Structure formats: structure tokens, C-alpha cells
Homo-oligomer: A and B are copies of this chain.
């Protein structure tokens, strides 16, 4: 579904969001630890997300990544687009370039509904939304 980079990105962003509630900054090391992802790989990903303006960062001692209120309004979809592009929006499940409403593949209309829900899921969940969910103790990000 999503690339590994994208999965890491989503988890990392949710983690940063949680930690930056009180304007704190989070280091790559902390992000890597809590998402158990390779540190240098996460570093690259955060760099990319910073370039795409989905997260803020400051260098130097006590630096790190954080989110302001605008950042928290970004959706999972924004992260997905930043990492994997918009192929989830555009591509045919069977990989047919010509597949369209007028030229549908045999599963086009069935998949259309699924895609609609998938898009709804990633667009309707903002990064900030997860703070509450995780705080409630009913949802988790842990890997093991």
C-alpha cells in the first residue's frame, strides 16, 4: 500500500506531533527509537518532510523537529503525497495506464469505491487528530 519510507514518515510525524504539544523539539534519535526505524533513514525522511514544509526543524543544541498549529492540521494524505506521490489517487489497481471511467478495467468500479474510502481515511485524519486518540490510551503506535 504505502512504501516503507511512507510508513515511517507517518509514524514519525504522529510521534513528533505528540511530543510537540508543549513546543518541545524532538531529535532524530528519539524519533528513530520510538518508531523503531533506522536512525539515518528516519533522518533522511524527516529532512524531506521538512523540505516539503510538513514539519519544522531547528539545528544546533536543543534543536530538533517540532510542529506548529498549522502543521498539525496536515492530513495523513499530505504525508503520503509527499513520500509516495499521488499514485494512490491516480493509478489503476491492475496498473493499466488507459484505465478510466470511459475505458474501465474489469474491477474499475469496484475499486473506485474502495479507493474513495481509502482517500477519505487519509484525508479526514489530520496529524493532530491522533494526539487525542493516543492520549486516550485506546490506540497505540508501538511495534512490539
Count residues of chain A with CB under 8 A from any CB of chain B: 41
Q: Which residue of B lies closest to A133 (CB)?
A: B106
Interface string of A84-100 (1 = CB under 8 A from B): 00000000011111110
Which residues of the partner chain B approach A144 to less than 8 Å between Cβ atoms?
97-98
Contact A105 B141 (CB under 8 A): yes
Query: In chain B, what residue has the closest Cβ to A140?
Result: B103
State how many copies of this chain the complex holds. 2
Question: For residue A129, which residues in chain B have a CB less than 8 angstroms away from its CB?
Answer: 106
Contact A94 B140 (CB under 8 A): no
Contact across chains for A121 and B117 when beta carbons are under 8 A apart:
no
* Chain B nearest Cβ from A109, distance in angstroms: 9
Docked-complex contact B104 and A140, CB < 8 angstroms:
yes
Asked if B106 and A114 sit within 8 Å, CB to CB, the answer is: no
> Are A139 and B108 neighbours in the complex by a CB distance under 8 Å?
yes
**Nearest CB of B to A66, in Å:** 20
Q: Does A7 contact B (CB under 8 A)?
A: yes
Bound CA span A144–B92, Å? 13
